[in-house]
Structure 1
Amino acid sequence: MTFKDIFTGIQDFTETILFAPFDALRSLELDSWFLASVMNWLFMIVGFVAFIYWMRELKTYNENDEEDRSSTSHSYLG
């Protein structure tokens, strides 16, 4: 077994197994743009939900004054 066989095996695994759902979605591209872009929509929804969650958490910490805002590392920061 050589390094070329290892990398060829990794290539074969990723192209046949991991990218199979994306190949199926690519065949839908001519039928429906929305169905072909379903992975993009899912990533956008997950990112938006995570952004809203993070902003709410920051708001609660800001309202509770739990953060130490004193500048002790450098005198020129305030």
Structure 2
Amino acid sequence: MSNLFYGIEDLFVNVLFKPLDALRFMDSWWAANTLNWLFMIIGAVAMVYWMGQLKKFNDNNEEDKTSTSHSFL
């Protein structure tokens, strides 16, 4: 069973995170964190898009806003 966990460790350390090791030893903070900034920008754009879609559906009154509760209340 331990070979399975060592295999998972090997996959992540030696294969999947290998490109990130090149970013670790850069002298510039901005260059090293470019990937993080890219993900933050993508997340911000996705949030703005999602809020726009929610506003569009809210303006069309497509959501059922009737308040209901359980019968025992």
TM-score (norm 1): 0.81
Q: Number of residue pairs matched?
A: 71
Q: Distance in 2 between matches of 1:24 and 1:33?
A: 13
Structure 2 unaligned blocks of 5 or more: none
Counting aligned pairs with the same residue, the percent is: 54
1:32 aligns with 2:28: yes
| TM superposition outliers: structure 1 runs of 4+ over 2 Å | none
Structure 1 unaligned blocks of 5 or more: none
Backbone CA RMSD of aligned residues: 1.5
TM-score (norm 2): 0.86
Q: Distance in 2 between matches of 1:34 and 1:16?
A: 25
Deviations 1:25-50 (A, max 9, x none): 1011xx21111001210111111011
